[in-house]
Amino acid sequence: MGKSRWWRLPPGFYAGGVILLALALKLSLLAFDVFPFNADEAVVGLMAGHILEGRWPVFFYGQAYMGSMDASLVALGFALFGQRVVVIRAVQVLLYLGTVFTTMQLGQRIFGSIEVALIAGLLMAIPTVNITLYTTVSLGGYGEMLLFGNILLLLALRIAKRNDENWPYLTWGFLAGLGFWAFGMTLVYILPTAGWIGWLAWRGTTRSLTSKRILIAITGFIVGAGPWIAWAFTQGSTLLIQELSGSAIAGISTGSTLEVIGLRILSLLVFGSTVSLGLRPPWEVRWLALPLLPVALVFWLIVISNVIHQLRQPGPEKAGRWVLIGVPIILIVGFMLTPFGADPSGRYFLPLAVPLALFAADFLWGLKRRMKTVIPLAIMLCVLGFNLWGTIESAFRNPPGFTTQFNPITQIDHNYDQALIEFLERNDERWGYTNYWVSYPLAFLSCEQLIFVPRLPYHQDFRYTSRDDRYAPYDHEVTRSVKVAYITTHHPELDDYLRSSFSALELTWEEARIGDYQVFYGLSRVLLPEEIGLGNTAP
């Protein structure tokens, strides 16, 4: 493919500029400290610390559908730069830069155009608020999923172009297995690429060679998914399968099968579409960048319509378009048919980002070639401006900042974390009970000197799940403690319940308010939550 006349510098220079732009946006947001430290991110950090101590877990604590790859990468960062929150974010930033780079590679491979590649890269470098959030903070595997997914697509394209090589089959299988262990949601990339690779292998070679290549891919998958498979053999596969099918949030939606699926479709159309297109932040229903929102909405509707039209058209990129569209198809089907469809947060829609960017870039460049005016450039700048405006708008609303918590009850002002730590240390309150959103950030930030296990409810109706209690050694430590304190957040009813329970047992105690934290300390004796009807079920 020849270079377009407008190039004055090598294409790699512009691609490097896109990467630097993505990095500059990430660093700017991190410098302004607009990402509150969340509990899932703290679990990743704690796991990484435990890995450095020689305790390597196969899965994310309490979630067997997500492996410990993210924690292992963070552990490497901790070994080099110390155990700090910024190191966790640095790992995510590096993973995302890899995603931006491989997105540009996909643009060139599928559409045969450097221009499409660069436009897609720009749309990923200045993405929607949802993408910015979940590719900066860690939830245990989303960054790896996006990067592995892009590489799996690139390998599938390589196999389609050079069907006489064996190494892409082995590499694809290994990365598919590794990605499957790292995060089960990588299946949205594995299934469409596996289907395409299988069809290519069957169509273009003899049956014996086809069997050989399929065996090579399966061997690679088994090696890559080794931790998952080994755990299944030793501990049983039932729990793993349940976790992959969404047992963590099963039961949230009630009703008949058709009613549940209908609600998931409604959630997809109302919540999924608006957050994926950047019209709102994932943590609340609030429109972003209102003056440009109509332009962005119309643009994406046209892009989606253009995708449907282009899929019917012949051309060298048709097969690549189909395997790319397979990602959102698998995602949408999975969202509708599994309990994950009951979760309204935007994290499950992350795989839509790359296909949307690539199809939008193809549309804009096609429009540019047909119109030969600055209008396509103006449209692109409007979309990028819309994304950036929404990002800045969200950054200035801090708290909550870029939060992973879509329930306001769980949105805690972490500006008081250090004050809470100093208060607890000053009063020698190092053990006790709290909720999930306090427990693990407190443990990480205090270097595990303050252990408060999540045995208290945070829902206003006192609902509690034992899944919040992720790390059994902390329970053992608190059980052996000679004194305990209780910490609550945003829950006046629970505060009153604790006071009345303490009084009924004739306990004495003191209270302190530190930001969003209500601390009950100085209890006259050790009190287990189970003694007052907490810790297992609602009282």
Per-residue pLDDT 10s for the chain (539 aa) are 444 454 456 778 899 999 999 999 999 999 999 999 999 999 999 999 999 999 999 999 998 889 999 999 999 999 999 999 999 999 999 999 999 999 999 999 999 999 999 999 999 999 999 999 999 999 999 999 999 999 999 999 999 887 778 899 999 999 999 999 999 999 999 999 999 988 877 776 656 667 888 899 999 999 999 999 999 999 998 889 888 887 666 555 566 778 888 888 888 888 899 999 999 999 999 999 999 999 999 999 999 999 988 887 777 678 889 999 999 999 999 988 888 877 767 899 999 999 999 999 999 999 999 988 899 999 999 999 999 999 999 999 988 999 999 888 999 999 999 999 999 999 999 999 999 999 999 999 999 999 999 999 999 999 999 999 999 999 999 999 999 999 999 999 999 999 999 999 999 999 999 999 999 999 999 999 999 999 876 56
Q: What is the 3-state secondary structure (H, E, C) of 26-53?
A: HHHHHHCCCCCCCHHHHHHHHHHHHHHC
How open is the CA angle 409-415-416, to the nearest 5 degrees?
85
Torsion 462-335-61-450 (CA) sign? negative
Query: CA 438 to CA 43: how far, in whole Å?
Result: 11
For residue 337, the model assigns a pLDDT of 86
In the three-class reduction of DSSP (H, G, I as helix; E, B as strand; rest coil), residue 60 is classed as strand
Q: Please say whether the beta carbons of 524 and 425 come within 8 A.
A: no
Question: Measured between alpha carbons, how far is residue 150 from residues 89, 96, 141, 332, 472 in Å?
Answer: 21, 11, 14, 18, 36
How many alpha carbons fall within 13 Å on the CB side of residue 438?
33
How open is the CA angle 522-536-538, to the nearest 5 degrees?
90
Q: What are phi and psi of 279, to 5 degrees?
A: -75, -25
For residue 259, the model assigns a pLDDT of 80
Torsion 449-454-456-458 (CA) sign? positive
Query: CA 109 to CA 155: how far, in whole Å?
Result: 11
Q: Could you tell me which of 132, 126, 136 has the C-alpha nearest to residue 387?
A: 126
- Structural tokens at position 242: 């349940």
For residue 6, the model assigns a pLDDT of 47
Question: Measured between alpha carbons, how far is residue 480 from residues 231, 368, 474 in Å?
Answer: 30, 69, 10
Q: Please say whether the beta carbons of 289 and 386 come within 8 A.
A: yes
For residue 524, the model assigns a pLDDT of 97
Query: Please, which contacts does 203-208 make with residues 24 or more away whose CB atoms are closer than 8 Å?
Result: 204/163, 205/163
Query: CA 82 to CA 88: how far, in whole Å?
Result: 10
Q: Could you tell me which of 233, 512, 285, 263 has the C-alpha nearest to residue 407?
A: 285
Query: CA 430 to CA 443: how far, in whole Å?
Result: 10
- Structural tokens at position 248: 């963590």
- Structural tokens at position 241: 């399968």
Other beta carbons within 10 angstroms of residue 413's beta carbon come to: 15
| Longest pairwise C-alpha distance within the chain | 84
For residue 2, the model assigns a pLDDT of 45
Kindly give, in sequence order, each residue whose CB lies less than 8 Å from that of residue 158, ignoring residues fewer than 6 positions away. 165, 168
For residue 208, count CB atoms less than 10 angstroms from its CB and return exposed for 0-12, middle for 13-18, buried for 19 or more: exposed
